[in-house]
Amino acid sequence: MKSKKVTLTQIATALGLSPVSVSRALADQGGISDEMKAKIVEKAAEMGYIRPRKAAPPKILVLHQKPYQHDNSNFSYKVQGIEKALQQADTDYSIEFVDKEHQNRLALPYRLSKGYKFDGVIFIGRFNSDYISFIHEQIPVLILYVGYSPAYDYDSVWFSFLHAGYKQCQYLIGRGHRAIGFAGNLSAYRNKEKKTGITSALEEHGLPADGALFMERDEALGSRLSGLIAGGGLPTAFICEHDFTAVELIRLLQERGIKVPQDVSILSSGNTEISALSTPPLTTMDLNIDYSCQRVVATLLSRIADPQKPAENIAVLSTFVERESVRSI
């Protein structure tokens, strides 16, 4: 008949000590004398105590793909933030870049191709949906970071662009602006959300949402601005999809004799390094990247522990950073 395992409580009772003292001694921690440690270790061996093995840390694969066409220093912060959060969670992880060619060919990431096993995978950036499904077949537990789409039923953490658009528009209205435009990639889902936030704020204040002021960020942006200036229809403020668009818009306006913020106010998102170096420095939205990275790792580990729970879509709210690119009118 198999004998029962000796517990810390049994050792403590035999020595007339507390289980906490026994635990500290067997873990070689401070707060207890060397003489007492030796006595506890000897008694534990005498009673046949077997120290339980520490559970192996979860193995996490991180795949990243730059999410936007233009470089954004925040992307490197997101990768670094995920790595920091994985370290704090005491995981075993591997980080790999997967380009579009590999995704289109449905090629395995390097580590998977070499037979490594993982408990979960984090996607950073916007990956091809077919590739996500392909990796999901290899690693059932996954989470998307900044690559959210309503088509997905996976866990995801991203940023509430609807909330950002609403708060940005409300901020401008509070400073007297009534004609408010937008500049960015209008087909991107994040900007469809932002447009909804902007139009919702306008409607709540009884202001029209002029579609002509929602402008695509492409090679024709400058000519469209010229048309608005010539026709006297230039808005008093623009909300931009991110800081790089804002800097480009400021340049295009200045080339046409329009000053920021004297003639047009500019508000952006990202709080990247360029936002503080811009002329004028940009009023922008900080994405709270460190917190979002912590939520990614925590949500993934929760999914590993409970694979059957409903999928979660966590939208992190941004925080205002006021600088000099917006004026009251």
pLDDT in tens, the chain (329 residues): 345 688 889 999 999 998 888 988 888 877 788 899 999 999 999 998 887 776 789 999 999 987 554 545 688 899 999 999 999 999 999 999 999 999 999 999 999 999 999 999 999 998 999 999 999 999 999 999 988 888 899 999 999 999 999 999 999 999 999 999 999 999 999 999 999 999 999 999 999 999 999 999 999 999 999 999 999 999 999 999 999 999 999 999 999 999 999 999 999 999 999 999 999 999 999 999 999 999 999 999 999 999 999 999 999 999 999 999 999 99
Same fold, 59-159+289-316 and 161-287: yes
d(Cα 102, Cα 65) in Å, to the nearest integer? 11
Query: 195 and 182 in contact (C-beta within 8 Å)?
Result: yes
Closest CA to 172 of 205, 212, 216: 205
Segments making up each domain of the chain, as ranges: 8-46, 59-159+289-316, 161-287
CATH entry 3.40.50.2300 includes domain 59-159+289-316: yes
What pLDDT does 2 receive?
Answer: 43
Cβ contacts of residue 3 below 8 Å, gap of 6+? 48
Would you state the CATH architecture of domain 161-287? Answer: 3-Layer(aba) Sandwich (3.40)
Backbone φ, ψ for residue 175 (5° rounding): -105, 20
d(Cα 173, Cα 118) in Å, to the nearest integer? 50
What pLDDT does 155 receive?
Answer: 97
- Give this prediction's pTM: 0.80
